[in-house]
Each structure stands twice: as structure tokens, then as C-alpha cells.
Structure 1
Amino acid sequence: MCSMIVTVTFVCTLIITPAIANDICTANALPRVPASQRNLHETFQRTSLLYGLSTIGNEYLIKQECQEQLQLFQLGVRTKMPWAVKMFDASASLEPGFTFGHNFWLGNSEVCSAVSRQTHVQISTYLRHQMKPELLTEVAPFNVDFRVLYLRHNSSWQVDAAVIAFASRLHVGLCLPSACTAHEVQQLVQAYLSTDLNAANEFYEMNLQYDYAKDLKLKSTTFRRTSFYLTCFFLATTIALTVAASLLRKSQDLYKANANIRNSRSTNGNVLETTNTSGATIKPHKSELDLNVTSFIACFDFDANWLHVFAPAKVEHTFAALNGLRFGSAICVTVYHYLMFLFHGTRNKVTLYNYQAYVGNVDIFVDIFFTISGFLQAYNHFRNVKLLAVIRQNSLKQNFKLMGLHLFHRYLRLAPLYFLTIGLSDFGSKLLDDISVFHIEHKVYENCEKYWWRNVLLIQNFFDHNDMCGLWTWSLACDMQFSILATVLLFLYVKHPKRKKLCLAALTGTSIAYTYTFGLKLNFDQTIEATFTFLTEIYTHPFARILAYMCGGIAGWYFVVQKPTEWHFTKQIQHFFDYLVALIFFGCIFIPTNHNFSVFTSTTILLFERIIFTVTSCILILSNAHGRMRWFFRFFETTFFQKFNRVAYAMFLINPIVVFALPGFSRSNLYANPLSLFAEFIGLLVILVLLSTLLTLLFDIPYQNLSRLLIQYQMRKKVD
């Protein structure tokens, strides 16, 4: 029995041994994958989204062509083929700074362009280089496109200030084969993210979800928008009128020269007709026959408008400093817009957020514009003795007609440049949304399509700020609404002074009650985060801003109607109060906010800051009018501020468009630091002043001239 068992065991051993030997030989014959390459494969699969997509593609998700090209890319990376290395390098991977808001994994679009075409770099063939020459010459066997994927996350490992630019959305730039359609890419990304392959997704607990993708190419639909056609028509019409005005000016100069020659040759200075050598009568110039058309075209005379804008500064003017103060305030607003719009393309968002939080008290700073506007409206109204007499004599119907004419002319002066800005914003935002690598959270063009009529009526600030077509235009709407209300109250004051005082008291109480109601309801705590979140209620609503306009109007009335009060103080005490007013004015702007107070206290502080800042601004305006505090206003009366005061309106309207274009057209994210921000802002300011000057000459001054022309025509009509 034992011998039989031994025999069977021996036979089995003889049978199995050749098979094992054969397997060993076969294994030795197959090429081994180095451990380092296997490690690289696993690392790339977990860190590079493009490489990870190439490892999960199959015929059920994508078409064969796309799958084959992705597999070819994967093989090229493993074998370190130059075109594949460039394609890998051009695609995004995890970047540092995620915890502080860095969501821009943009890759490199220029390197992606070099994947499918040769790159020409001027280098010497006689100098030694370490690089592989194939990096410049070798191209992929298929076409590639650079695309940006937008992935949402809900990670708690990232600072998420409640500001629009802190949106939880990753920007991932990939150099993908052109054969892969948008739908196929979406399928691949969703399949990849559903696994635990991506290291960043797993480590930061992102729970990434595919949102959408962009190919960064122009869309024909962008150039078929109504705003594009209207803007082009408006530009072409204005330029044509400007050219016509220039030709008309030359023809008028020629006609005047010929008339002077004829007058010098005439023996009778009262001759109405001049006869040439053939006996024919020389008729008057056409400009004398078509006075209305000629006058209309002359409003667009570029040379005359240039002289008007850059006329010699009149420093002796009563309110010369206000012109400088308005232009200086426009520069400060531009600084704030610059910091705000840089959020969309900055990788150190928290740092920039802190810059913005401490640059100034934005909650109250813009009140300076409303205070100046209210002061000037009341001042111009009460110093016009003839107008006051007409209002007293007119009936209610006549006064309503007069108010309507006043508001029409104000709208005519503001509307052209304002409408041009809206058109450029609508078209420009759609263009930017097509080709920018950054996601645009506040899509202006969508709001303009739906709510353009609100901007036409200047009532956009009554609605949610997220629905505004041009968020920065809220102050223009407020100013127009305050102007309408002030016009009614000023007319009412001439007829019934006591009723106006009751109206002012009611408006003051309403504004205070409104601020407390919404401050307590929304838990306002004076942070910049709360200001952005409750922008509609706390910042842009007319009831939140009306106190500044009313206070300015009262100061204008006081300056014209009331006699200046003589205060018998020593010079030291007068200087002390002057410095105190200036200190309070700047203190209200730059005072750091304290977040340790209760909601009621924070709301009260906000209200008192607005009141104190507005009253201080009025005191400064009156001091300037009475020739006081020359040391303070001398800076704002300089030639620079006086000459560029007229472009402040255009600068206010156009600066957000230019500022937003800086990060919008960039192909990479920005890093904000004080030195680079300062240098860039200086260049931006120069561009804005030049552009605002051109827009003022073409779209602002001509329509102001037209408004004056209509007023003169109405006055002549009344006289006739």
C-alpha cells in the first residue's frame, strides 16, 4: 500500500513540474512594469484629473475615437513622449491654497496650444541647452482643445465668507482631445468623481459635482444680441454727428471768411445782397436758413466740447472745491470697485478680503455724492429769483408742467452715457462669459434681458440687488429718485413752507425707522460680509440713503436764504473746530468696525455714523462757501481736480466695466499684494481718465448742449 502511494506521488510530481517550469519561463519572458512606474500611474490617477479620466474610459461612456485618444495620451505619459508630457503639464492638478479660497486649478492654455502645433522660440544653436528639442517640435497625433470645467463642492475645509466671489466652485483647466464632445467629457468626469480616485476630493471631503464646462470660444449668438445692435447704432450715429459737426464748423468758418471778404469789398455796409461779376445774386449760407438743424449738429462739435471740458479752471468760483471733491470721491469709489472685482480672479481671496474690509467704511462713504447733489440742487433752486416768482404765480397744473420739464432735461443729460454703459455691460458680460476662464457669478446679461425696463425707469434699486442690470448703477437711480422728490418739495416750499417742513420730518422719521427695522430683522453686525449679503436693504435702498440728500438740500437752502451767523471766537478756537470737523469727516470713513456689539447697537452705530458723516460733509461745504478751511480745500482746488471734474460722471459709470475686464480676460489667476495692486491701479486710473474724457466728449457734453438748446428754444418761444 505504501509503495503504491509513493508511486502515485512520483507520477504527479513528474506531471506538475514541467507546467510550473513553463509558467516560470513565461513570466521571465514578459516585460516587467517597474515599481516606480506603477507608483507614478497610481499617483497621476489620484492627482491629475485628465490622467484619471484616461483610466476609466470605456465604450459604454464615450465613443471609440475619444477613448482611443485618451488611451494614447496615457501611454504617451507612461513612455514620456514629449507631446503627452506637454498635454499632461497643460492640465490642472491640485494647487495649494484651497483652504483659503483658492479654487482656480487652471492649468496652462499656452502649453495646450503647443501640443497640436509646433512652437517657434528664437534660441541659439551654439549655446548649450538642457531641454529636449522635441518639446518645441513634436506634436500630438490628434487635435486638442483647452477647456475649463466647473465643479461644485461643499467642503467645510475652505473659508467661505458670504461674498459672491467666495462661491464654492472649482475651476479646472484641461487639455482634452478635440474628438471628445462636451457630453462625453461630462460622462467621464461624473464617473471619475463617483469613485474615490481623486485625492483632493477625498482628503478635503469636497463631494465634487460636475456643473458645466466652457470651451473659451466666441459664440455667434453674442453678436446677435439686441444690446450689440443698439450700441453699434448709437456709436455710429454719434460718430457720424461728430464728423458732421466738424465739417459744419469748417464750412461756417469758410462762410464767415468769405463774408468778411465781401464786406470789405462792399462800399455800403448795409447791403443785403452781394452780386458777383456775372450779375448773379449770392444767397445766404444754408446754416442761416436751417438754424434748428445746424444748432442740433453743432452740439456735437468735438473742438468746442473739448474747449468746454478743459476750460481754464476758475478757482475763485464759490464751489470750486466741490468739483475736486467729487472727482476725488470718484477715484475712491474706483479703488473700492477695483478691490471688489479682483475677487473673481484672485487666488489669495482672504488677503484681498481683508484689504477691502479696512480700506474704508463703504456703508457711509457714498453719502458724500448724495450730500453734494442735494446741496447743489437746493442752492441752484433758491438763488434763481425769477424761477421762484414764476412758481408762486403758476397754478398747480403749470407747476407740474414746469417740474416735468425740469426732470426731462435732467434725464436727457444723464441718459445717453448711462444707456451706453448698460449696452456695453450687457454685451461685454456675455462676451466675457464666453471666453473667460473664470466663472461669472453675477451674470449681468441675464438680468439685462429680463429687467432692462427697471434701468430705463431708474427704479432698479427697489428690487433685489442680485437682479440688477449693472449693480453699480443703484446710486444713479437713487440720485434721480431723490431729485424728483426734492423738486416736488422745493416747489412745495415756495407755495407752502410749513408743509415742506412736515414732509421733511416725516421722511427723516421714516428713514430712521426703516434702518432700525431691517437692521434688527436681518441681524446686521457692521461686517463687510453683512453689507454684501443685505445689500438691497442696508446699502442700495433709497430710504437707507435719503438722509444724506435731505441734509445737503437743507444746507443749500441755509446758504442762500439765511444770513451767515457771526461767531466771535478766537483764531485758535476756530482752527480747533476746523481740524475737529476734518478729523470727524475722515474718522467716519476710516474708523475700524467693531463686531462685538449687539445687533441693536450695531444698527444704531450705523445710523449715527451716517448722520454724523452727512452733517460733517455739510459743514465742510458751507465752510468752503464762506471761504473757511482754505488749508483743507486748497488740494481739491488744484488744476488737476478742476480740469477732470467733468469726466467724473463717465468715470463712475465706466470704471466697473474696465476693472472687471482685468481679471476677466486673464488666462491665469492673480496674486494680490499691495505693491502690485498700487502699480496696477495707477495704470488703471490713467486708462479710465483717458477713456472717460473721450466718452464725455462724445456722449455727455453733446447732450448737455442739446438740453441747453431746447431750454433756449422754449424761452424764445415764450418771449415770442
Structure 2
Amino acid sequence: MLKKYARFFKCSALSLLVLVICINYSEANVQISETGLNFFDFEEIKNDFFQQSDFNISNTYRSIDLEAVAKNAKCLKQMIEIQRGLRKEMWARKIVDSWGKIPSGLLNGNFYELGEFSQCLNIDRNGKRYETQYCLGQLTFEANLGIMPKSIGFGLNHNHGFWQMGKHTNIDQRLLVPIAEKKISITFGMCLPDSCSLHLTEKILNDVILKKGYKVKVSFPDNMCQVKESPSELKKIDIAAIFVLVTFFCLIAASTCYDIICTLTNRVKTQALLIFSFYSNGMKLLSYKKSKSPDMMHCLHGIRAISTQWVVLGHTFMMFAVLPARNKIDLLTFIKQYHNMIILSAPISVDTFFFMSGLLVSINLLKHFEKTKGRINIPLLYFHRYLRLTPLLGVTFLISMSLLKFLGNGPVWPLLMTKDTSCEKYWWSALLYVQNYVNPTEMCFGYSWYLSVDMQLFVISPVIIYIVYKLKTKSMSILLILILGCIGCDLALHQKYDIKGMKSRRMDIIYYPTHVRFSPWLIGVISGYIIFEARKRSVRIPKLFNLLAWLLSLALLAAVIFLNYPLIQINSEATWLAYGLYDSLSRVAWSIALFYITFACVNNYGGPVNWFLAHPLWQPISRVCYAIYLIHYHVLTVVMGQLKAPDYFTELKAFHTFLGIYVITVFVSIIASLAFESPFMIIEKLLFTPAKHAARNNRSENTVKN
């Protein structure tokens, strides 16, 4: 009897479970149907395209001119061969198998199915390579986004900040933004004979879809096809880049060999022949020792190195947000967590460099004015700065425009290579450091905007510092008025364009222009003047005041990082005033905090913070920070841009990637700095150092060696 009841309850429970599953499945089907995600069967479309389509020329081109018929005759013939080959030949099946499929996890933000890139471009037929092309296309359909998870638009909507950051770095986003105007686009990879035009393929596929009655459209953007895994043809600019690199390599090899031979044989070295020596220049670049000179501000080495690491960290996470990922929705969770504001606030690190730039130029020019009684050779000053920055920048641009494309491959590789003509049209504005005004929306490598702003601030620095030198403390009121003017200008632009978050045109309006970015630089100038004057007397800071000042400085830094939290959320309803006040005042607050940290450390009131920031081990990294800034994004591109399938984003994975990127970048930057930065600094010294000083230095060096 008990067994009978047990069997009855078991059957009842099983029936109830099946009923619940059916109900849930039915509800899920309704929800998916309402979103529009089950409007089509892509596998059926693909099957009909290859096996049911009529590739007869007369049927395909009944309404098209004879020229189009002749152009695509080979393609149609090859498609017929594939149709027949699908019955028994592996090469034909590999072509079809290389196509992408509708991916799982659509509601989790996975709108990418890139197919098999390498398989498509390595089809073998009867022992010979079958010429194919791998292309990216989009399936677009209408969907009820109101029924879909609210967060699905995060990182997918083209108005969100991550996409603007993508524009800032010249990423082609035509296939990376899947949601726009109540439509969803799924990016997929496909494999075709290399003779087939996208126009023809698009026409045939859409005809198949139309016959099925699906409310879907297929489109293929231009320049999204690849016929080889890596480009093999050299253009003129590629040859020019190779010539430049080979020339420098020969100079480096000759100079380094000369240096080593002279060192081993104890011969006197000629300074001019050591210009390109990796041995001598490397010893200087990688040396670390704490100088006892009162003029040295060792804490700046640590601040500069950490700020550069912050830039690389921010761009690494940005690449995860911009590139295809299987779980885009998890990015919403990422920005909702307060501790991640440390990463999301990375753009403020740029203001650290503006502050240090103003600080150093202020101290150096005040020293010079004091020594020369207000006289300065301005053309020579500008030439020194231009020679210091431009060679490495020019070589970086040259390699990026030419040889970089040979260092990677993959489905999204063309999206990461700049396809527009901005570099060809505006290379001169980049090398003249005026692109943030001349062509702010068509920058040749958007990350270089900082160099333009920094150079423009350096150009006006002699006038500003001369006023400080002449008027002393009275000049502070002038600088404060300029800072207030910068804040007012920022607020006025926010109001005029109703800027909320990272809207369209944000970068060229309130991010690139010098007139909205120079408040940290001016605070740096004021800081330089205070530190310069403080060196002339003994500085004593009361313990209580020092403690309170440190707490206030750290509180300001934390406030700048974390107060941005509500402004970057996708449901933020903040007004232009809130965004304007944060953008303008955060830079001022950040720079004031940096001023006291620097002032305290320079005057030995920094305690463990000064010990950490001024540690000699920061010095080699600090010296290559300029090279790291120029090179890190290209390392990111090469390492992350070769993905063959959408990655899965996690914070731990992104941080692990950052560590690898940073180590590689430092290594490459050391080589780049030794090859294209150090030699020009030596050339400048040889050209402009008085002959008697050079002779004295040589005699001193020989005396020490003997």
C-alpha cells in the first residue's frame, strides 16, 4: 500500500514539475517574442542561401546592367560549385561552417558571433588554397527595448561614455554599437569566395529573408572584408617606415659597438659618436639613486609613474568595454560598484600631468629669469621643447600608420586600424601640436590631444612666468582670475550645448580645448612659485597643521574620484550644471591636493608617503613615462585586438590583462626612448652647450676614469 502511494506522489510531483516547466517556457517564449529576438532562424536563412538560392546569372540580374553581370559572373559560378560541393566535399562545408551563428546570451549583451576567421581564410581544395574572404555583416531587426532588461543598453548605446572613449581612440564603431533607435543589430562573420561583392551577397540574402517573411535586414559596411590573415603588400609609407627604422638600427648598432669597444679597451670616447649608444644611454636611463641636491623633487617620479599606470589601467578597461564581449550587461554591475570609481575616474590622471607641467616650467623659468635678470631666448626655448617631444611622436605616428597593421589579425582587426584619412590629411597639425583646435573631430590618434594642449601651454609659459617673476605675490591675483575664467568658460559651454555626461561632441567641446583644461596648469605655476620662494628660507610646518592639511588633501582626492559616481550612472538625471561644476571644480580640487602633497614631500613633511613616492626605483619608470603614454595604446591594440571570438569580461581578467600590457609597454618604451628620445637630447646638448663647458665636462670625466 505504501509503495502504491509513494508511486502516486512521485508521478504527481513529476507531472507538476513538467507543468511548471511548460508554463515557464511559455512565459519565456512570450517575453522573447515580445522583445523581437525570435523573429528569424538564421541557420535556415543560411541554409537557403547556400542550397536553395538560384545563382543563375540571368535570374539574379534580371534588372541589373551587363557590367554588373560580367563583374560577378565568377562569384556566381563559384557559389554554384559550393552548392554542389556541400553534398560530399569538405572544403565547401568548411566555408559554410565558418559563418557565424545566432549567439547565446543575447539578453546578456552578447550581440557578436564572429564565426571562424582562420578557418575561412585557410580553405584547402585539392591541395591548393581556395581564395576566400572573411567579412563582417549585421543582422538588424526591430525590438521592444522597453521589455528587454533595462541595462541592456549600457555600453551598447552609442551615446554612452564608453563609446565616446572609443571615438577618442579612433576605433571604427560601425559594427560595435548594436543598439540604436529601437533596433538591435547582431554582428556576424561570414565566409565567401573572394570574387563575390558585398552588394551582390546582400541582395541575395535579403531576397531569401524576404521570401521567408522575416522582419530582418542584412547589411555589410564597406572595408569590412579580409582576404588574408595578415596584409602582405608594402605601400610607400610602409617602405619609408622600414627605411627609417633600419637607419636608426644601423646608427644604434655602430654607436653601441664603438661604446663597448672603447669601454673594454679603456680608450677615450668621442661624445658625438656615443649619441645612439644603447650602452651609455641605457646606463643613464635605468640608473636610480637619490640625489641630495635641494633642487630635486624626487616625489614627482612616483607621482608621474603612478599616473601613467592609471592611464594604462583606464584604457585597458575601456578596451574591454568597447570590444565584443559575451556579457556586456555585467559592465552595468561594474559601474554600479563604488570601488570601481578608481578605474572609471582614470581621466583625471591627465590633470596630474598638467599640474606637474606647470609646476616644473614655473620653477625652471623662475631660476632662469633670476640668473639672467629677466632675459630669455624664446625661439631657443621653443626649439628645445619641440626637439624633446617630436622625434618619438613622429616615429610613433609613422609606425602606427604603416607597420602596425602587420602586427595583428582577426575579425575586428580592421575596426582597430584607422580607416579614415585623418592622419593623411592632418598629420601636420599633430606635429605642430594644434590638432585640438584645427581638426578636433578628425584627430590623427585621439589620445595625442594631451600633447597639443601641453605644448600650447608651454608656448604661453614665458609670458605667464615673466609676470610672476616681475610682480611676485601680486601676480597671484591675475592667475586666480584666469583660473576663475577657465571655470566660467567650462560652465558656459556645458550650458550652451546642454552637456550631460558624454554626449556627442563632448570631447571636442570640453575635453580637448586648451581654454577649458589649463586650470590645473595654472595651479601648477602657482605651486612652482611657492616652492621656488620657499627654498630661499627654512620651512617649518606645525604638526597639527600638517596633519590637517594631509587629511584635507587626501579627502579632496577621494572626493574627486568618488563624487563622479551618480553622474556616470545610466539612469542619471543630473543637469548640465551638475556636470559642469564637477568637470571644472574637480580639476581645481585635484590640483590643490597635489600641491600640498608635493610641497610637504619636498620639505620633508611627507612621512611614509614621501618615502614611497620618492623611492629611487620609480626613477627609471618616470623617465620613460612619455614613451609609455605614446606606445601603450598600440600595445593594447596588438594584444587585445586579435580576439577571434567575443571575450568574457571580469574585473580580475581585465586587471590581469593590464599587468601584462603594462610590462610589455614598459619594455617597448625603454627601447623606443633609447632609440628616438635620448639621442636627440644629447644632440641638443652638443649643439647648444658652450664649447668651454663641454671641454670642462670631458676633462672631468677623464679625470674620474683615470
Q: Which amino acid aligns with 2:602?
A: A
Matched, 1:209 2:215: no
Aligned to 2:201: 188
Instruction: Name the CA distance, whole Å, in 2 between partners of 1:640 and 1:114.
Output: 48
Aligned to 1:331: 309
Match of 1:249 among 256, 259, 269: 259
Match of 2:288 among 297, 305, 312: 312
Distance 1:663 1:249, change over 3 A: closer
Aligned to 1:22: none
Aligned to 1:278: none
Q: Provide TM-score, normalisation by structure 2.
A: 0.76
Instruction: Name the CA distance, whole Å, in 2 between partners of 1:299 and 1:114.
Output: 47
Aligned to 2:235: 224
Instruction: Name the CA distance, whole Å, in 2 between partners of 1:514 and 1:196.
Output: 53
Long gaps (5+) in structure 1: 1-41, 118-138, 260-286, 288-293
1:217, 1:435 within 8 Å by CA — same for their partners in 2? Answer: no
Aligned to 1:519: 494
2:312, 2:658 within 8 Å by CA — same for their partners in 1? Answer: no
Q: Deviations over 1:14-66 (max 9, x none)?
A: xxxxxxxxxxxxxxxxxxxxxxxxxxxx9977545365254323323376664
Distance 1:348 1:627, change over 3 A: same
Match of 1:485 among 457, 460, 463: 460
Q: After superposition, where does 1:404-419 map in structure 2 within 5 Å?
A: 404-419=379-394
Instruction: Name the CA distance, whole Å, in 2 between partners of 1:715 and 1:509.
Output: 48
Match of 1:145 among 110, 132, 136: 132
Aligned to 1:373: 357
Q: Which amino acid aligns with 2:102?
A: L
Matched, 1:558 2:533: no
Aligned to 1:238: 248
Instruction: Name the CA distance, whole Å, in 2 between partners of 1:390 and 1:678.
Output: 50
Q: Which amino acid aligns with 1:600?
A: L
Q: After superposition, where does 1:269-280 map in structure 2 within 5 Å?
A: none
Match of 1:450 among 425, 428, 437: 425
Match of 1:175 among 170, 176, 191: 191
Q: Secondary structure at the match of 1:440?
A: helix
Q: Which amino acid aligns with 2:56?
A: N
Choose 1 or 2 for highest CA Rg.
1
Q: Secondary structure at the match of 1:313?
A: coil
1:429, 1:445 within 8 Å by CA — same for their partners in 2? Answer: no
Instruction: Name the CA distance, whole Å, in 1 between partners of 2:412 and 2:585.
Output: 43
Moved more, 353-362 or 575-584: 353-362
Instruction: Name the CA distance, whole Å, in 2 between partners of 1:568 and 1:253.
Output: 49
Instruction: Name the CA distance, whole Å, in 2 between partners of 1:89 and 1:43.
Output: 19
Q: Secondary structure at the match of 1:175?
A: strand
Q: Deviations over 1:582-613 (max 9, x none)?
A: 23223312444223332113212322211111
1:327, 1:648 within 8 Å by CA — same for their partners in 2? Answer: yes
Q: Secondary structure at the match of 2:247?
A: helix
Long gaps (5+) in structure 2: 1-38, 61-68, 146-151, 167-172, 179-184, 567-571, 697-706
Instruction: Name the CA distance, whole Å, in 2 between partners of 1:53 and 1:637.
Output: 67
Q: CA deviation at 1:368?
A: 0.5
Match of 1:303 among 262, 266, 279: 279
Q: Secondary structure at the match of 1:311?
A: coil
Match of 1:96 among 73, 87, 104: 104
Q: Deviations over 1:484-536 (max 9, x none)?
A: 111222234445669955753553243122201211122223x3x33x75111
Aligned to 1:548: 520
Matched, 1:440 2:415: yes
Q: Secondary structure at the match of 2:220?
A: strand
1:426, 1:445 within 8 Å by CA — same for their partners in 2? Answer: no
Distance 1:509 1:367, change over 3 A: same
Instruction: Name the CA distance, whole Å, in 2 between partners of 1:498 and 1:49.
Output: 76
Aligned to 2:434: 459
Q: Which amino acid aligns with 2:275?
A: C
Aligned to 1:271: none
2:109, 2:328 within 8 Å by CA — same for their partners in 1? Answer: yes
2:366, 2:469 within 8 Å by CA — same for their partners in 1? Answer: no
Q: Provide TM-score, normalisation by structure 1.
A: 0.75
Q: Which amino acid aligns with 1:182?
A: C
Instruction: Name the CA distance, whole Å, in 1 between partners of 2:261 and 2:677.
Output: 25
Distance 1:50 1:631, change over 3 A: farther
Q: Deviations over 1:281-319 (max 9, x none)?
A: xxxxxx8xxxxxx53332212111111012232165642
Q: CA deviation at 1:146?
A: 4.2
Q: CA deviation at 1:405?
A: 0.4
Q: Secondary structure at the match of 1:147?
A: strand
Residues matched between the structures, number: 602
Q: CA deviation at 1:713?
A: 3.6
Distance 1:481 1:141, change over 3 A: closer
Aligned to 2:370: 388
Match of 1:49 among 46, 49, 54: 46
Q: After superposition, where does 1:604-619 map in structure 2 within 5 Å?
A: 604-619=581-596
Q: Secondary structure at the match of 2:138?
A: strand
Moved more, 409-418 or 57-66: 57-66
1:432, 1:664 within 8 Å by CA — same for their partners in 2? Answer: no
Match of 2:299 among 321, 327, 338: 321
Match of 1:621 among 591, 595, 598: 598
Aligned to 1:580: 552
Instruction: Name the CA distance, whole Å, in 2 between partners of 1:389 and 1:644.
Output: 32
Q: CA deviation at 1:93?
A: 1.9
Q: CA deviation at 1:237?
A: 2.4
Aligned to 2:24: none
2:410, 2:643 within 8 Å by CA — same for their partners in 1? Answer: no
Instruction: Name the CA distance, whole Å, in 1 between partners of 2:645 and 2:75.
Output: 28
Distance 1:140 1:245, change over 3 A: closer
Match of 1:70 among 56, 79, 101: 79
Instruction: Name the CA distance, whole Å, in 1 between partners of 2:509 and 2:578.
Output: 18
Distance 1:432 1:353, change over 3 A: farther
Q: Secondary structure at the match of 2:444?
A: coil
Q: CA deviation at 1:219?
A: 8.8
Root mean square deviation of aligned Cα: 3.6
Matched, 1:58 2:36: no
Aligned to 1:659: 636
Aligned to 2:66: none
Q: CA deviation at 1:108?
A: 0.9
Moved more, 294-303 or 649-658: 294-303
Q: Deviations over 1:440-483 (max 9, x none)?
A: 27726621100001011111112454311111111111111111
Instruction: Name the CA distance, whole Å, in 1 between partners of 2:543 and 2:263.
Output: 60
Instruction: Name the CA distance, whole Å, in 2 between partners of 1:245 and 1:348.
Output: 52
Moved more, 350-359 or 302-311: 350-359
1:58, 1:67 within 8 Å by CA — same for their partners in 2? Answer: yes
Q: CA deviation at 1:170?
A: 5.0
Q: Which amino acid aligns with 1:174?
A: M
Instruction: Name the CA distance, whole Å, in 1 between partners of 2:479 and 2:666.
Output: 38
Q: Secondary structure at the match of 2:190?
A: strand
Aligned to 1:133: none
Matched, 1:510 2:510: no
Instruction: Name the CA distance, whole Å, in 2 between partners of 1:167 and 1:210.
Output: 14
Instruction: Name the CA distance, whole Å, in 2 between partners of 1:296 and 1:569.
Output: 52
